[in-house]
Structures are given as structure tokens and as C-alpha cells.
């Protein structure tokens, strides 16, 4: 939420496997501006969503240097540690304690004590099939994981205002873009280094989410290294510069392993397409949604040359990358402006938009 007094939002913080992304917005008379944006490479190997103590300690200083204001942070929980699921509960009219039942169900499904996790849930729209019960989408996080994520930042002097889901952060960003009722179904494709997340929004409600650890860019990187027998830097170059794009330089065209590399990347894209298509198909049928679906892609994978085109062709869905600059004016600094166009920072931008502010912005846009 953008504070009325300060005019600055909380810092949206997306801790990725390879870099830490942070975005902060400011509101002015002309609208929403990106006041500060940063993408900090992680020195050591860290899990997505979890900061090392040394990283957390230096983060505040880095933020101050990069022009961030305040110390309030909205953090995304580690995707691998988030607990989520769709569950059928008794109807509301029965007077049953739905919150308690949802907690028990999620705890049972994940094998943890019910009182050891923090839970949030929301009701899903009525589906195509007639149902007596209430279908809810529950998201939870174990207290131990939450404390681990927060302790380091608070020890460094930051104030964690909320611990959110990264997918919901991206959905807030999408809510500002896709307001047309003609496309009620929106697919979210977050292609990260450690995994890919596929989610489906019905309107602005998250109705489906699936994490695909084997479809992260690290998996593609490993395949390139192992199948083409190239070193890690070359594989990195293929991912960042070659991809499956046809726009290649003369030097790239003369690379003898070009087609093999493109084939591996294309295969990876096709795998993602298949998962995306299946997910969208399920949601469309489940909720009887009509009209063409649109897909918004984020994460480092969305920047791989030609990857989104390949996925679009394979899945037959309209796909576009989503970036912080799509909803707010870019900063004047060239480096910051470049980062504002990077789909990797979409999640951090969405996290910076806490629900209240996002709804206000949505209403203003409509």
C-alpha cells in the first residue's frame, strides 16, 4: 500500500535463486512511478525466497544506496515452502467452521500440525458442475519457514509488512492490465531459474496454481551443459542470447552447435507450453469460461529470445511478457529504466502493490 503521508509504497522484495529483485513505487499527480528498482546478484547459492544472513545484513545499505525509501518490505514466501491447495469444504450456510476445517485439511495434506502454519484462503467461483459444498483455494506457510524468512530482514533493520505469495503479487500486477471482461481467464507463467509456476486467474481471482520445479531455467541450463557438452558460461550465453530466436548474428549462425542448442531450448519451451495449455484447458472447462485466454509471462525465462513466441505457437494462446514499466512510469536513470523493462522484476513490482493500493489502482484504471 502506498502510504498517503510518504507517497512511497513498501519495497516489494522477490528473493530469487540467482538474484534479489526489489521495486518501490511512488505516487504523483501524473500517476504511479517506479521510484527505485534493483536487481542484486546473489553471491552464494541460496534458496528462492530465503535470504542468507549476510545478504540480509547488507540489504538495507544496498537499498539506501539504490534510492529506496523507508524500511517496510513486502516479501514473497519461498515457492518451494508454500503450501497450497484447492479443497472442498461444507457450504457456508451449514455454519461449519470453514477456517478451521481448511486449516486441518491443509495441515493433513502436508503432514504438519494445524497450529504450526499460517493460513489464508478464499472462496472460488462456482464451477460448471453443480456443487453443494464450498470450494476454496488455501495458501499456507509453516511458522518456522516464516520466521526464518523474516528474522534475517528484521535483524538488518527492515520491517516486513507482509509475507505474501509471489503468484498473488504477479496477479495484482495483472489486475491492472487485463481489466477486459472479454478475457476472464488469464494464465500466469512465471519462468524462474529454479522452477516454473503456472497459475490461472478467473477475473482477478487465483483459481489454479502449479509449481513445476523441473521446468526452471536451471534445468534447461543443465540439459545444455550435459547434452551439448558445453561449459556453464556457454550454456548461460545460449539461454540469454540465442534461445529459439531467428534473429541471430553472423557469428551465432556459424556456431556448429546452434541447432542442437535451439532444439534443447525449443523442447523446454514445448514442455512449458504443454503444461500451460493443460492448465488453461482445465480452468476453462472447470469454470465454464468463454472467450480467449491471455497469458502473462514473467521471470527470467520470459527474456529468453524467442521462448515466449515458441510457447505461444505451441499452446495457441496469446502470450506477452509483463514488466514493471507496464503499470508505472519508468525512472529516468538508464540502468533503472532497463530493469523496469525486465520481466524478472514483475513479481517484486506486484509485491510492492499491497492489496488495498492495487484495488484502488484497479478502480482508477477502470
Interacting residues with another protein (CB under 8 A): 77, 118-120, 122, 137, 139-141, 143, 146-147, 150, 159-160, 162-165, 168-169, 171-172, 175, 204-206, 354-355, 358-359
Please, what is the Cα angle at 161 between 156 and 167, to 5 degrees?
110
Among 169, 164, 171, 167, smallest CA distance to 149 is for 164
CB of 192 to another protein, least distance (A): 19
CB of 28 to another protein, least distance (A): 23
Give the three-class secondary structure for 185.
strand
Structure-block grid coordinates of residue 34: 517506479
Rg (CA), the chain: 21
| Alpha helical stretches, state H, 254-306 | 258-286
Cα 215 from Cα 235, distance rounded (Å): 16
Cα 189 from Cα 46, distance rounded (Å): 22
Contacts of 218 (CB under 8 A, 6+ apart): 17, 193, 194
CB of 147 to another protein, least distance (A): 7
Parallel/antiparallel/unpaired status of strands 196-202 and 117-123: unpaired
Looking at the Cβ atoms of 175 and 304, the one nearer to another protein is 175
Looking at the Cβ atoms of 139 and 296, the one nearer to another protein is 139
Looking at the Cβ atoms of 259 and 355, the one nearer to another protein is 355
CB of 137 to another protein, least distance (A): 8
Looking at the Cβ atoms of 82 and 269, the one nearer to another protein is 82
Looking at the Cβ atoms of 17 and 165, the one nearer to another protein is 165
Give first-to-last CA distance, the chain, whole Å. 19
Looking at the Cβ atoms of 16 and 77, the one nearer to another protein is 77
List strands edge to edge, sheet with 19-28: 31-41, 19-28, 11-15, 72-76, 159-164
CB of 140 to another protein, least distance (A): 7
Looking at the Cβ atoms of 123 and 231, the one nearer to another protein is 123
Cα 49 from Cα 149, distance rounded (Å): 7
CB of 16 to another protein, least distance (A): 19
The answer to whether residues 327 and 171 touch, using CB atoms and an 8 Å cutoff, is no
Cα 314 from Cα 278, distance rounded (Å): 12
CB of 303 to another protein, least distance (A): 25
CB of 209 to another protein, least distance (A): 12
Looking at the Cβ atoms of 92 and 313, the one nearer to another protein is 92
The answer to whether residues 331 and 33 touch, using CB atoms and an 8 Å cutoff, is yes
Amino acid at each position: 500500500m502506498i502510504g498517503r503521508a510518504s507517497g512511497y509504497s513498501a519495497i516489494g522484495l522477490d528473493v530469487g535463486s540467482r538474484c534479489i529483485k526489489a521495486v518501490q513505487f511512488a505516487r504523483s499527480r501524473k500517476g504511479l512511478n517506479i521510484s527505485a528498482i534493483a536487481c542484486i546478484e546473489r553471491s552464494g547459492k541460496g534458496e528462492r525466497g530465503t535470504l542468507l544472513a549476510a545478504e540480509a545484513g547488507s540489504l538495507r545499505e544496498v537499498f539506501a544506496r539504490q534510492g529506496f525509501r523507508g524500511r517496510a518490505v513486502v516479501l514473497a514466501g519461498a515457492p518451494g515452502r508454500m503450501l497450497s491447495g484447492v479443497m472442498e469444504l461444507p457450504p457456508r450456510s451449514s455454519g461449519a467452521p470453514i477456517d478451521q476445517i481448511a486449516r486441518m485439511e491443509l495441515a493433513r495434506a502436508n503432514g504438519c500440525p494445524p497450529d504450526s502454519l499460517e493460513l489464508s484462503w478464499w472462496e472460488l467461483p462456482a464451477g460448471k458442475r453443480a456443487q453443494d459444498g464450498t470450494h476454496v483455494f488455501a495458501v499456507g506457510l509453516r511458522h518456522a519457514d516464516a520466521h526464518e524468512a523474516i528474522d534475517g530482514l528484521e535483524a538488518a533493520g527492515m520491517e516486513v509488512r507482509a509475507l505474501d505469495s509471489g503468484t498473488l503479487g504477479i496477479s495484482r500486477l495483472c489486475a491492472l492490465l487485463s481489466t477486459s471482461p472479454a478475457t476472464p481467464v488469464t494464465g500466469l507463467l512465471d519462468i524462474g531459474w529454479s522452477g516454473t509456476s503456472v497459475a490461472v486467474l478467473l477475473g482477478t481471482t487465483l483459481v489454479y496454481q502449479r509449481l513445476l520445479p523441473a521446468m526452471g531455467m536451471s534445468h534447461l541450463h543443465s540439459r545444455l551443459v550435459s547434452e551439448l557438452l558445453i561449459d556453464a558460461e556457454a550454456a548461460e550465453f545460449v539461454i540469454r542470447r540465442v534461445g529459439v530466436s531467428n534473429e541471430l548474428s553472423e557469428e551465432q549462425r556459424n556456431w556448429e552447435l546452434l541447432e542442437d542448442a535451439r532444439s534443447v531450448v525449443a523442447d523446454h519451451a514445448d514442455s512449458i507450453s504443454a503444461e500451460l495449455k493443460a492448465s488453461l484447458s482445465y480452468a476453462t472447462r472447470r469454470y465454464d469460461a468463454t472467450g480467449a485466454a491471455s497469458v502473462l509471462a514473467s521471470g527470467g525465462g520470459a527474456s529468453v529470445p524467442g521462448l515466449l513466441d515458441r510457447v505461444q505457437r505451441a499452446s495457441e494462446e496469446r502470450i506477452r511478457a509483463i514488466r514493471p514499466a507496464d503499470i508505472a512510469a519508468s525512472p529516468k536513470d538508464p540502468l533503472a529504466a532497463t530493469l523496469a523493462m525486465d520481466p524478472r522484476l514483475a513479481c517484486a513490482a506486484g509485491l510492492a502493490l499491497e492489496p488495498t493500493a492495487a484495488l484502488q489502482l484497479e478502480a482508477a484504471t477502470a
